[in-house]
A and B are shown apart, each in its own frame.
Chain A
């Protein structure tokens, strides 16, 4: 067996709310050679440590007392990109938490250890995880570390290939990462081949679900659904299969999607899935269920780390649809005290309040709230969710044109983002305008495609100034649209290529590439445009990451 990683010199973080357990485990860690180990009593302290220092390993108890559990903590740090992929995460759990940890889907720990355990076993598990992390480090290096560093997926894929070609004990892990990378890059046929290759050797849940996701990505919804359902018969606790099936069903049959999420919640509780349940229940007009779901999210998370404006907005809507106006307004007030002040918060509160007053038959109060929401919306660049809430309030308040104008901007800005477009469609549906919404959003999507095509045609016909002007205007207005930003960068670079170096155009192209990368690092055109930039930009030009 190859020499294993030594824990001496590694930096560790131990998270446990019980002082005596912290102390006992700290001694155990020291006994197996981990000399440098910080401790945290709760999620807040752990988060602060992670913000300040890079750790090689984290040992976290599942049960963190009141507030969040270890699984929620792991979800939080992964979602907020403060936990590098190279950091080992070991969850320690009693038997009661074991199933929740062992069945975690998207945010699974690297390993878990059932209490009680000896120092020797703890050391063995940690060194195994660190061994694996070291072997997969070349892949992690290019997968990026967070929101500002989305990595270079092509290089990560090449690193996967190298590990697979070398064989050895981590080849299967590399296949798993390769499948995920290919799916994220939209290369579903190649991902499908990876999963089929794995499944020819062995049945394993991630490859079964991966293959179904590849089918889904190639438009074979029926086959994908059947495969997810078969996966759940064989692996009834594999949460990733529930999540994927629920997302698939949510497009066409939200009642069935809600049922799948309910089943997943019986396997393991989760803030994210409970929130999803509430959202589906609202769409299905199952307001009692929505109320209980959002209430659970809001009440369970006393730390405030995991809550979102959506939870309070969802709770308020569940109340008001049941005629509970006082409770609904109370939820809006609670939203205000649960989060720091921001334009998003102010707009969201006002927009939800407007909808409550409309429903309760208070037109004057509704108008005042809507005016307030629109004032914030016009003065700040709101995120898509908040903007769509304001649009929904506009529909409720009888200002359909304002609603459509807001939705149009959001849809243009996110025309490649299915989740945002689905949410926009649900705003139309809530206003009783489902068919109009479908036509409206499809027209917006086509308009964006046309804009891109027209600009590309201009560029190809040599009218580069016109192409640059058209795309730059759009890219400056639609900062969340990666495709527009990349085409704007491409037009600028073509201009430079044809007419000679122009520092201002180079700088502008650089800014658009970074803008696109920040929105979608896996965009299929990003690598091509980045490569063109590196070829065209003279020495001394701003560098691209990677």
Chain B
């Protein structure tokens, strides 16, 4: 029988160092792929057009670049989450809280996320974004948490995923990611476990909770993550 995965298990510093190097290598690979794609775009498009005269099924090479980049950044993101949890265990996690324009933040998030998988409709509700303007948070870490959540939603959705930003009655800014998939397993929903059977390690949820809770105000309010099933899974990440 497989040993259950425990994303909170302490990490050996040597393993952490190796993970750090692997993460950097993946990010470098992503950048190299992006630059190669950009520099060879015209050539690759021309080549594909030519090839289609003999093989109408020829797929543009750009799609392969995008897929390769998505894989590299997804794994790098997970490794960063793992290292962030490691730093938190060691008491070395530092949040860099500063004002960020929410519109720019959503633009950056969507650019890094890339297009949704075929057959999945992706809607973004930006109505509150313009009203709120800027908010103070660690954009780098919150973006990582939301990217992971959105990628999970893409994986589990049947037809659609929705990203929303709003203000909860008690204050703060709330990011919601909802899909129309099977929803969270009951054990995850009630907080008994972070991962229950199937695929995934539960690291994304652990990371999102960690990052949300580390956001605080001098009045003592903290961020939080809430899960719900409303015709699919909904994760809400609230920042104070």
Contacts and interface: CB of A to CB of B under 8 A. Distances in A.
A374 interface: no
Contacts of B240: 203
A32 to B, nearest CB: 11
Contacts of A124: 107-108, 111
Contact of B94 (A117, A202, A237): A237
Given A114-B140, A116-B27, A102 B96 contact: yes
A-side binding surface: helix, strand, loop or mixed? helix
B166 interface: no
A205 B140 contact: no
Interface in B82-106: 94-99, 101, 103-104
Contacts of B34: 118-120
B97 A205 contact: yes
B45 to A, nearest CB: 18
Contacts of B35: 28, 118-119
Contacts of B140: 98, 102, 114
B38 interface: yes
B1 interface: no
A203 B27 CA distance: 33
Contact of A235 (B97, B101, B111): B97
B104 A238 contact: no
A230 to B, nearest CB: 4
Given A99-B94, A267-B94, A233 B218 contact: yes
A94 B27 CA distance: 11
A233 B216 contact: yes
B-side binding surface: helix, strand, loop or mixed? mixed
Contacts of A103: 94, 96
B218 A208 contact: yes
A169 B103 contact: yes
B71 interface: no
A4 B20 CA distance: 36
Contact of A117 (B31, B101, B104): B31
Interface string A64-92: 00000000000000000000000000000
A102 B31 contact: no
A315 to B, nearest CB: 30
Interface in A122-181: 124, 128, 169, 171-173
Interface in A1-37: 1, 28, 31
Contacts of A121: 111
A102 B94 CA distance: 10
A120 B107 CA distance: 13
A29 B111 CA distance: 19
B165 to A, nearest CB: 14
Contacts of B98: 102, 205
A236 interface: yes
Interface string B201-240: 0000000000000001111110000000000000000001
A231 B218 contact: yes
A237 B95 contact: yes
A115 B28 CA distance: 8
Nearest to A237: B94
A118 B220 CA distance: 39
Contact of A203 (B28, B94, B96, B218): B218
A277 B172 CA distance: 37
Max count, chain A CB within 10 A of own CB: residue among B30, B95, B96, B107: B96
29 contacts: A31-B38, A94-B24, A102-B98, A114-B140, A116-B31, A118-B38, A119-B34, A119-B35, A119-B38, A120-B34, A124-B111, A169-B103, A172-B133, A202-B136, A203-B136, A203-B219, A204-B99, A204-B136, A205-B98, A205-B136, A208-B218, A230-B218, A231-B218, A233-B216, A234-B216, A234-B220, A235-B216, A236-B94, A237-B97
Given A204-B135, A204-B136, A205-B98, 4 more contacts: A120-B111, A169-B133, A206-B99, A234-B216
Interface of B: 20, 24, 27-28, 30-31, 34-35, 38, 94-99, 101, 103-104, 107-108, 111, 133-136, 140, 216-221, 240
Interface of A: 1, 28, 31, 94-95, 98-99, 102-103, 114-121, 124, 128, 169, 171-173, 202-206, 208, 227, 230-231, 233-238, 267
Closest 10 CB pairs of A and B: A102-B96, A116-B31, A204-B136, A203-B217, A230-B218, A118-B34, A234-B216, A234-B218, A237-B94, A99-B94
